Amino acid sequence: MAQQQSATKAPAEQAVGAGSVFLSFAPWIIFGVVASPSTWEYAALAALVAAIVLSGKDMLRGRLRVLDMAGIVFFAVLSVLALALDRGQLIWLETYAQVISNGLVAVVALGSLLVDPFTAQYARESTPREYWHSPVFLHINRVLTGAWGLVFVLMTLSTWLAIRFPSQDDWFNWVIPVVLLVWAIRFTNSYPESYKARVP
């Protein structure tokens, strides 16, 4: 009985931390902060460099997380488009770059729930293999992945509203996204322990 309880509790004690997840979001956040109609090309290049640097060790080991792969591909495509097309052909991208990037993160995060919750890729690094398929481990990472996906859905909507209502763009481009990200980080840190406390 004691061994069964240990198998139930251990994954919650060693669940994913916000710090490791935040590193994979860093290139997307860099892009969101730097990107504007006149700077999105530089933002894409800076985000691409950040994505490659932050995932460099994993690439050397032949291992890449889904969010890192999506970032490298997305920002590489943006950088190529900036070089290959003229300004007139990129007006739509200049306008909606942040909306597209936030929406893509939401799709990647929520889409990973159908296969393997993306936060589980981080949690496995500090959780013994025998707990990877436990109900507690899987539940925590489904909830955390869903929370991050929802945050980026709301950020997609917020940055779209900034385009529709330019007089309120400080709120929609900055205040609301920052509040959402702070909430997601705090939730990622607190939820595993709060759920563990409710597990019999």
Assign 4 a pLDDT band (cuts: 50, 70, 90): very low
- Encode pLDDT of 99-113 as tens digits: 999 999 999 999 999
Average confidence (pLDDT) over 133-140: 92
CB neighbour list of residue 200: distance below 8 Å, 6 or more residues apart: none
pLDDT: which is higher, 159 or 17:
159
Q: What angle do CA 86, 88, 93 make, to 5 degrees?
A: 90
- State the number of CA atoms in the 13 A half-sphere of 125 facing the CB: 13
Mean pLDDT across the chain: 85
For residue 135, what are the CA distances in angstroms to 32, 121, 126, 199? Answer: 35, 16, 17, 11
DSSP string, 36-100: -TTTHHHHHHHHHHHHHHHTHHHHHTT---HHHHHHHHHHHHHHHHHHHS-GGGGHHHHHHHHHH
| 27-31, 73-77, 101-105: least confident range | 27-31
Cα 196 from Cα 159, distance rounded (Å): 35
pLDDT at 116 over 60: yes
pLDDT: which is higher, 105 or 17:
105
Taking the model in full, what pTM does it have? 0.85
pLDDT at 155 over 80: yes
pLDDT of 83 = 83
Assign 16 a pLDDT band (cuts: 50, 70, 90): low
pLDDT at 61 over 80: no
pLDDT of 8 = 47
Q: The tokens of 80 are what? A: 């190529």
Assign 18 a pLDDT band (cuts: 50, 70, 90): low
pLDDT of 148 = 95
Across 29-33, 82-86, 90-94, 160-164, which has the greatest mean pLDDT? 160-164
Contact criterion met (CB below 8 Å) for 173 and 159: yes
C-beta contacts of 4-8 below 8 A and 24+ residues apart: 7/130, 7/131, 7/134, 8/134, 8/135, 8/136, 8/199
| 24-38, 64-78, 132-146: least confident range | 24-38
